């Protein structure tokens, strides 16, 4: 797999596709909270194949479980634990991996059980490292904005984590644009470790970050890790029976534990049918098309590294993502996709 520099303001190189752990391979059985049990052996097969193929950028978070949403406090940390266990059991070289995790989400019921305060962040980095069985993480994200903690407190705490060797690089996720700029400028003013990567939702159906987040990334030399590049599987075509031209919810899919009804519109069905035909004409699956679109928008349109974070519940999904990394979409392809999406929104 190709590797690129994550950002202009750092030297870290990452694979052009990242493997996410928000949605892990699942078994049919559920526990008492309704969470799917994780197919750990399939997850290990996916990790091994990804590593062998050079997909070494792995994304997780302290809140992730892998088979339930919203995640109850009894289930937080599961994805980190399984990721760390798999890396150890497979004997993967830690220094070849780029591991990202996050902090800010609620991890305990107490008043300091969430947020970006020094107390919470210093607690959670050590808890994440225990679960991951690692001495450091490569990227540590502020997962959400915390309006109750002064920005400088968060930034100096993150800076300390780098100085202590617990974290290599810093990132921000889902922070409103004007607050994000304040974090960036404060880090510069106080000569603290810079924010090098942003994690936001970005896909063919949700391009809202083009208004402000991508321009901010370009202005300050930051890269972007794009979550939900397949719009939670919608853009993979998994919720459409193309023969009968109807919406479906496959067993074990996210649609079995998330409310997807808002997506199942006549307009979106028409769009899925057109995107499927567009992909088929180019010898691609819908998932490959959607993944390649994110990469090509970064490299060919915005001039900013945009790394799609793909969720993989079967080895086949990983193979599609690996192939998508080398798909080149022309200017005409990107323009045609724009028109397809726009026309579906105006009919």
Provide the 10 A C-beta neighbour count for residue 108.
14
Q: What is the pLDDT of residues 96-148, one digit of tens each?
A: 999 999 999 999 999 999 999 999 999 999 999 999 999 999 999 999 999 99
* Interacting residues of 150 by C-beta distance below 8 A, sequence separation 6+: none
Residue 270 has pLDDT above 80, yes or no: yes
Instruction: Give the global pTM.
Output: 0.95
* pLDDT top residue among 244 and 199: 199
State the average pLDDT over residues 199-206.
Answer: 97
Mean pLDDT over all residues of the chain?
96
Q: What is the pLDDT of residues 36-92, one digit of tens each?
A: 999 999 999 999 999 999 999 999 999 999 999 999 999 999 999 999 999 999 999
Whole-angstrom Cα distance, residue 145 to residue 174?
7
Of the candidates 129, 125, 123, 52, the one whose C-alpha atom is nearest the C-alpha of residue 83 is: 129
Q: What is the pLDDT of residues 158-179, one digit of tens each?
A: 999 999 999 999 999 999 999 9
Domains and CATH numbers, the chain: 3-232+286-327 (3.20.20.100)
Whole-angstrom Cα distance, residue 73 to residue 113?
10
Instruction: Name the residues annotated as catalytic.
Output: 64
pLDDT at site 146: 98
Residue 346 has pLDDT above 70, yes or no: no
Q: Judge contact between 183 and 175, C-beta under 8 A.
A: yes
Whole-angstrom Cα distance, residue 73 to residue 67?
14
pLDDT at site 347: 54
Q: How many CA atoms lie within 13 A of 74 on its CB side?
A: 6
Residue 255 has pLDDT above 80, yes or no: no
């Amino acid at each position: 797999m190709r590797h690129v520099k994550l950002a202009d303001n750092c030297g870290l190189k990452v694979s052009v596709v990242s493997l996410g752990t928000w949605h892990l391979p699942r078994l049919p059985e559920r526990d008492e909270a309704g969470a799917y049990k994780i197919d750990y052996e399939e997850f290990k097969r996916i990790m091994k194949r990804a590593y062998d193929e050079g997909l070494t950028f792995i994304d997780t978070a302290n809140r992730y479980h892998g088979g339930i949403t919203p995640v109850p406090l009894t289930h937080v940390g599961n994805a980190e634990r399984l990721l760390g266990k798999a890396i150890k059991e497979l004997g993967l070289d830690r220094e070849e991996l780029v591991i990202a995790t996050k902090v800010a989400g609620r991890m305990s019921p107490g008043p300091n059980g969430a947020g970006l305060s020094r107390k919470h962040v210093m607690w959670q980095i050590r808890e994440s490292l225990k679960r991951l069985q690692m001495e450091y993480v490569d990227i540590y994200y502020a997962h959400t904005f915390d309006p109750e903690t002064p920005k400088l407190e968060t930034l100096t705490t993150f800076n300390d984590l780098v100085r202590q060797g617990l974290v290599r690089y810093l990132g921000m996720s889902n922070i409103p644009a004007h607050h994000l700029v304040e974090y960036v400028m404060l880090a510069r003013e106080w000569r603290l470790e810079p924010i090098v990567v942003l994690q936001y939702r970005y896909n063919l159906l949700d391009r809202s970050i083009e208004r402000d987040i991508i321009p901010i990334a370009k202005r300050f030399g930051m890269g972007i890790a794009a979550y939900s590049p397949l719009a939670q599987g919608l853009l993979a075509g998994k919720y459409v029976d193309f023969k009968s031209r109807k919406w479906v919810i496959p067993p074990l899919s996210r649609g079995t534990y998330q409310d997807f009804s808002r997506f199942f519109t006549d307009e979106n069905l028409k769009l899925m049918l057109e995107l499927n035909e567009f992909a088929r004409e180019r010898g691609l699956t819908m998932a490959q098309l959607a993944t390649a679109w994110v990469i090509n928008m970064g490299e060919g349109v915005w001039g900013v590294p945009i790394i799609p974070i793909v969720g993989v519940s079967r080895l086949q999904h990983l193979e599609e993502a690996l192939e998508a990394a080398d798909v080149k979409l022309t200017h005409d392809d990107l323009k045609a996709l724009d028109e397809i999406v726009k026309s579906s929104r105006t009919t």
